[in-house]
Amino acid sequence: MNAEAADNLLSDDVRAWIGRSDEPVRMEVSRRDIVKYSIATEQRNPRYLRGDEAPPMFLFGADKPLTPIPQLRADGLLEDQLLPDLPLKRVMAGGIKQRYHRPIKPGDVLIITRTITDIFQKQGSSRPLIFIVYDIRVTTEDGTLVMQETQSRINR
């Protein structure tokens, strides 16, 4: 496919998704949740194993609903409501960058909001690729910033 044809992949309707957000997700953090996650991920730091503080990556996927396997797509992913209909359907992870502003503690009530901040395409070695970039913000109920994450997904 030539560059001119690749330019046609991102319609104005697709670009109009930039700036859209999911409904915020409210999450209550329990000591038990932290301990279970810490054991499952083989943490060694006692403060994680006691549940005093959540380890890094504790929030990865926390905004996703608990979904029975039969309700997942054939590729094992959820249907994503914050995703325009793209002409390229195969999905790959593009990368994650996290910045923590304070530790996550038991008893925290967190609000997780995901927003599309960019949609662009690049020419890969054999075909065009579409990148979707999300900003995920985690705050406490009173608005204190806990974590920011930039996450990208690549459709090919």
Break the chain into its structural domains and give their ranges: 3-155
CB atoms inside a 10 Å sphere around CB 84: 18
Domain 3-155 CATH superfamily? Hotdog Thioesterase (3.10.129.10)
Q: What sign does the CA torsion over 121, 63, 143, 54 have? A: negative
pLDDT of res. 7: 58
Query: What pLDDT, in 10s, does the model give residues 7-55?
Result: 579 999 999 999 999 999 999 999 999 999 999 999 999 999 999 999 9
pLDDT band for 3, please (50, 70, 90 cuts). very low
pLDDT band for 106, please (50, 70, 90 cuts). very high
